[in-house]
Structure formats: C-alpha cells, structure tokens
Amino acid sequence: MRAYLEIAVRKFQDKMAYRLDFFMGIVNTAITIVVYLCIYRALYAGASEVDGITYRMVATNFVITLGLSNAFGYNEMFLQDKVHDGSITNEFLKPVSFTLRLLAENVGEGAFKLIFHFLPALLFTLLHTRLCPPKSALHLLAMLGSVALGYLILWLLSFIIQTWSFWLFSVWGIITIKNVLVSILAGTLLPMWFMPAALRRVIACTPFESIYFTPVRIYLGELDGAQLLSGVAVQTAWIAVLGLAAWIFWRRGVKKLVVQGG
C-alpha cells in the first residue's frame, strides 16, 4: 500500500511542475462556472424556485459536479497506447499491480486538480454567488466519503472500456460516448431534479446517479439517516459489480494479448 501512496504523491508532484497548466486550469474552471451560473440565473428569471428547487441548490449542484468532473478527469487512452506500442509487457515485469498503479496515478492527478484548480475557482465563485452550505459537519464528512466511492465507480467504468483495447483497434469512440452519457445522466449538465420521472427511474438502475448526484444530495441533506446509508450502499454495490467486471475483462485481455516487434 505504501508503494501506491508514493506513486500517487509522485504524480501529484509531477503535475505541480507545469505552472502554465496550473494557472490555465484555474482560469478554465472559473470561466466555466461563471458562464453556466449566468445561464441558470437567466433561466430562473428572478423566480425564487422551480418545482421546489431553488437557484442556490442548482448552483451548488453545478459547482460541486463541475469540480468533481474536473478532478475525476485523466488520460483514458493510457492503456490503449501501452497496448499499441507494446510497452504493456514492461508493466508486467514491475513488482506492483498495473491496475493499482494506474489508479494511484489517477488519484494523485485528481487530488492536484481538486486542490489547485477547483478550490481557487470555488473561492472566486463565492465572491459572486451564494451557495448552499452543507446541512451539517456530519453530512459534509459523509459527502466526502461518497465522493471517493463515486470516483471509484467512474474510474472502474473507464477502466473496463480501456481493457477493450485488447480486442479493439481504438476505444476512443466508446470513451467519448461514455463521457457524453456521464455528462447527461450523472447530472453534470442538467440537474437530476429536472429530469422526467420515467428517465429518473431508468437512471436509478444505472451507476451514473451514484457518481455525482448522490454526494450532492448528501451534502444538501436530501439523503439523511437510512436514506444516506442506502445511497452509500448502492454506491458500494456498484463498485463491487464493476470491480468484478473490470477484473474479468483485464484477466481475459491479458491472456489474449499478442505483441509483435523486432
């Protein structure tokens, strides 16, 4: 475990070396937040709430999901590139698990983006827009735990698709489709509150709602007591299901791997 922690820390430090990316990441996040909040404010047109959902709730949902989606982003073509150039074989010679090393690197990169991209942009946002505070300190802590579970769900979805590189020449198109589905069905672009009831029931049967919306609902206090435990249990169940699928695809992909070279 210590080795993977050091890998994550090293990736975190590597990202700090690119100062231009650091500042541009802050600017990009801040501009995106301001633009979308202006759009939502115009849609509310001065109304205090729509269907029981206030503008502050929508703004809070968007800021949190945007921050998390930025932090959760990483190079999803990594495994495909390794398979194409044959360097994947070198990974099997290292004394650490390839999947856990990849996860550690992605966590380190995500932590950097969360701290140095999202938090400065959040402070800038708070100067212009009032956001909903967490219902309580306990809900904030529970939300942080739920965020970690949501990250694992999204990471496993991505890793499963990446393993298809063992069978497909390119997984870029599939990854693009996955990212579009996450943006729509996880509530990043449109808050889940405003989606049709029939669509909400369908989404509830998928892992998408557990990525961002469950942490947001915990933060706002919509999930409390037994409902909070149920939401976390659903996230944990999806991690178990996706983790098993990822393990199966990875094992079968490694057995199928053929590398040619001179």
pLDDT value for 260: 55
Q: Is 170 a member of any domain? A: yes
pLDDT at residue number 115: 84
In a domain, 82, yes or no: yes
- The residue range of the domain holding 50 is 2-256
Residue 117 lies in a domain: yes
Per the structure, how many domains does the chain have?
1
For residue 261, tell me if it sits in a domain.
no
Rounded Cα distance between 242 and 236, Å, is 10
Tokens of 150: 């949501």
pTM flag (> 0.75)? yes
Across the 262 residues of the chain, what is the mean pLDDT of every consecutive 10-residue run?
83 74 75 82 80 86 86 86 84 83 90 83 80 91 94 95 92 92 86 88 92 93 91 96 96 77 46
* pLDDT for position 262: 42
Cα separation of 258 and 260, whole Å? 7
Whether residue 262 lies inside any domain: the answer is: no
Q: Residue 259's pLDDT is what?
A: 57
- What is the torsional sign of CA 21, 24, 30, 36? negative
In a domain, 239, yes or no: yes
Considering the domain boundaries, does residue 240 fall inside one?
yes
- CB burial string 217-240: b at 16+ within 10 A, e below: bbbbebbbeeebeebbebbeebbe
Q: Give the per-residue pLDDT at 87.
A: 83
In a domain, 15, yes or no: yes
